[in-house]
Amino acid sequence: MNADLDKQLNVFETKINEDINIEPRDWMPDDYRKHLIRQISQHAHSEVIGMQPEGNWISRAPSLRSKKILLAKIQDEGGHGLYLYSAAETLGISRDEMLHQLHEGKAKYSSIFNYPTLTWADIGAIGWLVDGAAIVNQVSLQKTSYGPYARAMVRICKEESFHQRQGYEIMTKMMQGTKDQQAMAQDAMNRWWWPSLMMFGPHDSDSPNTGNAMKWKIKRQSNDILRQKFIDKTVQQAHLIGLSIPDNKLKWNEDKKSYDHGEINWDEFIRVINGDGPCNKQRMKHHIKAHQEGEWVRKAAIAYQLKRKELINQ
Amino acid sequence: MDTQQQILHYVLRLGDNALISGHRLGEWCSNAPILEEDLALTNFALDYIGRAENLYQYAAKLENKGHDEDFFAYRRSERDFQNHLLTELPNNNFADTMARLWFLSLYEFYLYNELCSSHDETIAAIAQKSIKEIKYHLRHTKEWVLRLGDGTSESHYKMQKAINDYWMYTGELFEMDTIDHEMLNLGIGINPQNIYSLWLKDVKETLNEAQLQVPEDSYMQTGGKNGIHTEYLGFILADMQYLQRAYPDAKW
């Protein structure tokens, strides 16, 4: 028995070392499976919960064009949620179980969506900064070791880069607009910058899950490296349209050819993750309410399907 | 009102119906019973908003006063809108939304099918694009009428109630006024009364298949075409037009 296990582990590790994807029917260590379920379901939940702060502005989008773009973007996010739930299902967990874990507070979603979208500029900031940060992470995940997750990422990255450009376009238009619009855009920048940096997670020295994830090539680059990539590309984009970064310690470092930045408020990060962000309760209440209110519809669909089957069998 | 004005009104009516219907469907975002349905409803909203945009672009051209499509959506007031009352009613529960959208999609299916051969080339082109979307809306909503009507006793009750509640708003879809007469004479518009019998036949067939009763004939609400709306429209516009009204000099 042990010899079998060793052999399986050996095959698994050889594949990982040779950058061959692990597929659903392959043997994998329990902890690898658990880690992936946790990460992919969290990713799926983030896409779905993220529909709330953005959906908040569909009815008020200020032009027909911007309304169409926002509707399409939110659909993309919901679609990403679907692929990711499916990818997680290949690991032996159902969507119902994942939703149950979310509602019980056992599964998390990205903390960024616990911040409110207060003005139209926040829709620009989410597209540009939040999707921008997500892309940096997801581009790296295209090379993750689990096949279905890696393939989902390839498709998701294509759509996310549209979102980022669309978000930047909103900010650009506002910065070229009236004084009120410029103030709105800068205010959104001020509120979303630091939470966007927090999206990459704790510093490498404080990141408890990184060890195995890196060894198994689930995660390919560290939190700090990804965060730095995001900062370096975004600062220039901000300056180009006249937005300032709310960090007085931000400075170009010629030696390392990237920006130094101020200290992230990790107390806020932990507080929001643990449930005391501005919208944690609102987001969960909303999701649970929609799910509960839809129960009779789901039951009806199942009942109808059963009746059809019976008719066919008769 | 000269002919050009009448065509403008006809196009605005089509646009207003699409805009308000799209607005209501957009409200379903993150509220649907399953994720797949969330995507379907916001996808329909996107179809409607796209259709409204095309129609308002044409309206801007017909009006010839230098306005753009957003003017018609964002800078007109309650009494200027000429959409059917059915489109502006609140979403309520899922059965209500499906009943409303099914009644509308079936009507639009026959309407836009005929508009595909309108003598007005722009209307015909928009109709040809729209009809593909409408066919899909119709198929989707009809499936839900069947599922809910013939699902559980609870879903049956809710679907029947929805059909009954919205019935009085369906008469307005087939009303004919002087603008409709003129558009019919010019070969631009259609005779809504001609499509009524087709609509009713399909409604009866589907309700029958779904184990639902066809509501008895009763008083039909009216007013939308003349800008006399329900109280709900004012709130839709307050919500939708807020940024354009609060910052009139801004471009977005």
% of chain B exceeding 90 in pLDDT: 98
DSSP A207-227: -TTHHHHHHTTSS-S-HHHHH
- pLDDT for the residue A3: 84
CA atoms of A299 and B151, how far apart (whole Å): 8
A20-28 mean pLDDT: 97
CA atoms of A217 and A161, how far apart (whole Å): 24
- pLDDT for the residue A274: 94
B176-198 mean pLDDT: 96
The domain defined by B3-212+223-246 carries CATH number 2.60.40.1120 = no
Long-range CB pairs of B153-156 (<8 Å, 24+ gap) are B154/A296, B154/A299, B154/A300, B155/A296, B155/A297, B155/A299, B155/A300, B155/A303, B155/B95, B156/B211, B156/B212
CB contact under 8 A, A303 and B249: no
Query: Beta strand pairing status for A251-253 and A258-260?
Result: antiparallel
CB contact under 8 A, B242 and A67: no
Chain B residue numbers with beta carbons less than 8 Å from the beta carbon of A288 are none
**Of A162, A75, A79, A166, the residue nearest B47 (C-alpha):** A75
Of A68, A75, A78, the CB nearest to B49: A68
Q: Which residues make beta-bridge pairs with A259?
A: A252
Task: Say if residues B42 and B26 touch (Cβ distance below 8 Å).
Answer: yes
Q: What is the pLDDT of residues B158-167, one digit of tens each?
A: 999 999 999 9
- pLDDT for the residue A74: 96
Q: Which of A70, A86, A297, A309 to mutate to test the interface with B (most CBs of B within 10 A)?
A: A297
Backbone angles phi, psi at A146, to 5 degrees: -90, 120
Chain B residue numbers with beta carbons less than 8 Å from the beta carbon of A72 are 46
| Neighbouring C-beta atoms of residue A219, cutoff 10 Å | 24
Q: What is the pLDDT of residues A246-276, one digit of tens each?
A: 999 999 999 999 999 999 999 999 999 999 9
Is the pLDDT at B250 greater than 60, yes or no? yes
CB contact under 8 A, A120 and B35: no
Of A58, A177, A181, the CB nearest to B26: A58
Residue of B nearest to A58 (CA): B26
Task: Say if residues A125 and A188 touch (Cβ distance below 8 Å).
Answer: yes
Of A64, A287, A290, the CB nearest to B73: A64
% of chain A exceeding 70 in pLDDT: 99
Q: Please, which pLDDT band fits residue A1 given cuts at 50, 70 and 90?
A: low
Of B31, B242, B247, the CB nearest to A60: B242
| Neighbouring C-beta atoms of residue A292, cutoff 10 Å | 11
CA atoms of B38 and B43, how far apart (whole Å): 8
B193-202 mean pLDDT: 96
CA atoms of A241 and A246, how far apart (whole Å): 15
Q: What is the mean pLDDT of chain B?
A: 97
CB contact under 8 A, A290 and B39: no
- pLDDT for the residue A164: 94
Domain residue ranges of chain B, discontinuous segments joined by +: 3-212+223-246
H or E, element range at B10: helix B3-26
Amino acid letter, B214: V
B144-159 mean pLDDT: 98
Stretch among A25-29, A98-102, B1-5, B180-184 having the lowest mean pLDDT? B1-5
Chain A residue numbers with beta carbons less than 8 Å from the beta carbon of B34 are 294, 297-298
Task: Say if residues A181 and A238 touch (Cβ distance below 8 Å).
Answer: no
Is the pLDDT at A282 greater than 60, yes or no? yes
- pLDDT for the residue A208: 66
Within 13 Å of residue B48, how many CA atoms lie on the same side as its CB? 26
Task: Say if residues A14 and A27 touch (Cβ distance below 8 Å).
Answer: no
Answer whether 0.90 is exceeded by the pTM.
yes
Q: What is the pLDDT of residues A138-150, one digit of tens each?
A: 999 999 999 999 9
Q: Please, which pLDDT band fits residue A232 given cuts at 50, 70 and 90?
A: very high
What's the gap in Å between the CA of A223 and the closest CA on chain B?
30
CA atoms of A93 and B144, how far apart (whole Å): 28
Q: Which parts of A130-222 fold into alpha helices (H)?
A: 131-141, 147-175, 179-198, 210-215
